[in-house]
Amino acid sequence: MNQDIKEVLFSKEMIDQRVQEIGSKITKDYQMKDLVLVGILKGGVPFLADLIRAIDLPLEYDLMAVSSYGASTKSSGTVKIMKDLDMGIEGRDVIIVEDIIDTGLTLHYLLQNIRSRRPTSLKVATMLDKPSQRKMQIQPEYNGFEIPDVFVVGYGLDYAGKYRNLPFIGILKEEIYQKK
């Protein structure tokens, strides 16, 4: 699988260290709060799994699934809830946990949707941020790394469902998606 990667942007060690830093920050910011992390399937799962263990506080987590790009590398702009939360979040302190913010369309929709359930507070943690592609004004409170406009895979990020299990984040060779 590694032969499909043109360049590794963030090694496993870099990711681990950044997740620990974000976890420590959240631990400081959420003392005495009623913390709920909402992981976004499927890309947010590795980050969620590592982040919860880097937070030294009582917390709960839940999962939501929204429609994704399918096999395309560009955003369709349409968002649909495929799996909703199991728990109520009214009056609780919610952090949405995402793999990447690109156009911001997904998060814009999710923020509105979750805000309507009246959490006490609502913030965003994302592993990656591609600010150059933004269509909606969204600024994550917790951000792993900023990247330029490149298509990346690994650590939850996929191309056509694959590569999510890579322990690093890298740029996919163009020939891989030109083949399809």
Return the number of other C-beta atoms located less than 10 Å from residue 53's C-beta. Answer: 11
Q: Which is catalytic among the residues 50, 93, 99, 102? A: 102
Q: Is residue 106 a contact point for Mg ion (CB under 5 A)?
A: no
Contact 128, 100 (CB under 8 A): yes
- From the list 51, 95, 101, 122, which residue makes contact with ligand IMP (rule: CB under 6 A)? 101
Q: How many residues bind ligand IMP (CB under 6 A)?
A: 19
Least distance in angstroms from the C-beta of 94 to ligand IMP: 18
CB of 179 to ligand IMP, least distance (A): 17
Report d(CA 141, CA 109) in Å as an integer: 17
Q: Does 105 bind ligand IMP (CB under 6 A)?
A: yes
Neighbours of 176 (CB within 10 A): 18
Q: Which is nearer to Mg ion, 38 or 55 (by Cβ)?
A: 38
Which residue, 104 or 119, is less far from ligand IMP as judged by CB?
104
Could you tell me the CA-to-CA distances from 104 to 109, 132, 145, 165 in Å, in that order?
9, 11, 16, 24
By three-state DSSP, how is residue 62 classified? strand
Residue 99 and residue 156 in contact, taking contact as beta carbons nearer than 8 Å: yes
Residues found near ligand IMP in the complex (CB under 6 A)? 43, 68-69, 75, 98-107, 151-153, 157-158
The residue ranges that bind Mg ion (CB under 5 A) are: 43, 68
